[in-house]
Structure 1
Amino acid sequence: MTGIDWVSWHDHYDEPGSSLERRLRAVRRWIGAALDEGACRVVSLCAGQGRDLLPVLAAHPRRGQVRARLVELDERNVAEARRNAPEGVEVVCGDAAVTDAYAGAVPADLVLACGVFGNITDDDVRRTVATLPRLCAPGATVIWTRGRHEPDLVPVISAWFEAEGFEQVAQEGAEYGYGIGVHRYTGPPVPLEPGRRMFTFRA
């Protein structure tokens, strides 16, 4: 873990008009779209308090058909997510960077990697993108975020996704300093490889 207080970090979501609040609204919209399209299995990396997925899922008419696993290392955030998790959602206190955390929950139809790519090295972003097919069912949607500070890695990340068998559905958020990427996995099934580390947080 890093020295950042990841509980108070979530307070920025509550600031109307802040970049994080706007990012959250956009991510929720895409989550809703994926659920509308029939996503039934969801995994979330470094899920925090689950503020992106949980409110959308709780209000969605298909919520009873969805099974989700949120993986988060901060025990306080895990407790908060569990308090708000509807039936069918498992909140795991563990290291989201290791593939073992997703055993039994993948292949997923929706994979969330929000708030991850801005806190790891570029090499780790590349490694994570290369591993994501192992978490995805064919046709799965991946929603990811990354700040658009210079040097802007968002276009590069999108190219990495395409190299791993994903097609870009959308990219937005530049007007408020974020890249929000939505990619669909068009490749074949790839088995989960246990014990594989995707990244190390450096924030």
Structure 2
Amino acid sequence: MADWRSWHAEYDDAASPMAQRLAAVQQQIALALDRAGPGPLRLLSLCAGQGRDVLPVLAGHPRGGDVRGRLVELDPELAAAARAAAPPSIEVVTADAGTTEAYDDAAPADLLLLCGIFGNVPDGDIERTVAAVPSLLAHGGTVIWTRHRRAPDATSRIRAWFAASGVAETAFLAAPGEGWSVGAGVLRAPSRRPNGTRRLFTFAR
């Protein structure tokens, strides 16, 4: 069983690949807020951890006050840390993000974060989750995701699955070698209503 609390501690080392990936995700969040239309924005983050990717960006971005939403995290200690850092507009739910029961009423979002998931679940679960994006994301909204590139590198297939789901890629950033990658895209297909409660993924470790 992975020790997710120790894993999150790697973010504190500015020279670590984790911190570099975090910076890339934060950059994409800021760009998504930059291009978002005026008015309220809805956020949904699955397996949100301590919220280190999105909460600092909301605190410093001119559109941060427009964002309402939900962070879903299973680990109680990580969720408590996110809750302590979150503004009143952001709800932190301690729940299993692998099932849509935890966020059906929070979708569709204008910004969907699928970070720290795809490297820990089987390929079939990744494909199922990507296929569900149009039911989680509003038309014109942005999805941001991460995945390592260790062999067998699945990022090409993941990018193709997003394209098949109607997501137009806006960025794909990758560390040298087999390190992290960060993808982002905008949903150009119509958003659709969630089709009841479903399990999208289960962590393999």
Relative to the length of structure 2, the TM-score reads: 0.94
Count of aligned positions: 201
Contact 2:44 2:69 in 1 (8 A): yes
Q: Which residue of 2 aligns with 1:183?
A: 185
Q: Which residue of 2 aligns with 1:196?
A: 198
Letter in 2 for 1:111: L
Q: Which residue of 2 aligns with 1:68?
A: 69
Alpha-carbon distance between aligned partners in 2 of 1:87 and 1:189, rounded to the nearest angstrom: 27
Q: Which residue of 2 aligns with 1:16?
A: 14
TM-aligned CA deviation for residue 67 of structure 1? 0.3
Contact 2:42 2:68 in 1 (8 A): yes
The unaligned stretches of length 5 or more in structure 1 are: none
Alpha-carbon distance between aligned partners in 2 of 1:185 and 1:174, rounded to the nearest angstrom: 25
Alpha-carbon distance between aligned partners in 2 of 1:174 and 1:38, rounded to the nearest angstrom: 27
SS at match of 2:110: strand
Letter in 1 for 2:67: V
**Over residues 33-69 of structure 1, what are the superposed CA-to-partner deviations in whole Å (9 max), with x where a residue is unaligned?**
1112227111001001010001111112222211020
Contact 1:99 1:193 in 2 (8 A): no
User: Structure 2 matches for 1:47-66, cutoff 5 A?
Assistant: 47-66=48-67
Alpha-carbon distance between aligned partners in 1 of 2:79 and 2:71, rounded to the nearest angstrom: 9
TM-aligned CA deviation for residue 72 of structure 1? 0.5
Letter in 1 for 2:23: R
Relative to the length of structure 1, the TM-score reads: 0.95
Q: Which residue of 2 aligns with 1:26?
A: 24
SS at match of 1:117: coil
User: Structure 2 matches for 1:97-136, cutoff 5 A?
Assistant: 97-136=98-137
Q: Which residue of 1 aligns with 2:151?
A: 150
Q: Which aligned segments of 4 or more residues in structure 1 are displaced greater than 3 angstroms?
A: none
Contact 2:142 2:186 in 1 (8 A): yes
Letter in 2 for 1:52: D
Q: Which residue of 1 aligns with 2:5?
A: 7
The unaligned stretches of length 5 or more in structure 2 are: none
Contact 1:124 1:199 in 2 (8 A): yes
Alpha-carbon distance between aligned partners in 1 of 2:57 and 2:167, rounded to the nearest angstrom: 24
**Over residues 134-193 of structure 1, what are the superposed CA-to-partner deviations in whole Å (9 max), with x where a residue is unaligned?**
101001111000001011100110001111111111111232611211111111121012
Contact 1:45 1:113 in 2 (8 A): yes
Contact 1:69 1:105 in 2 (8 A): yes
Letter in 2 for 1:72: E
Letter in 2 for 1:55: P
SS at match of 1:52: coil
How many percent identity over aligned positions? 51
Q: Which residue of 2 aligns with 1:37?
A: 35
Letter in 2 for 1:48: G
Alpha-carbon distance between aligned partners in 1 of 2:83 and 2:111, rounded to the nearest angstrom: 20
Contact 2:58 2:65 in 1 (8 A): no
**Over residues 68-89 of structure 1, what are the superposed CA-to-partner deviations in whole Å (9 max), with x where a residue is unaligned?**
2000000000100000001200
Contact 2:104 2:197 in 1 (8 A): no
Contact 2:172 2:184 in 1 (8 A): yes
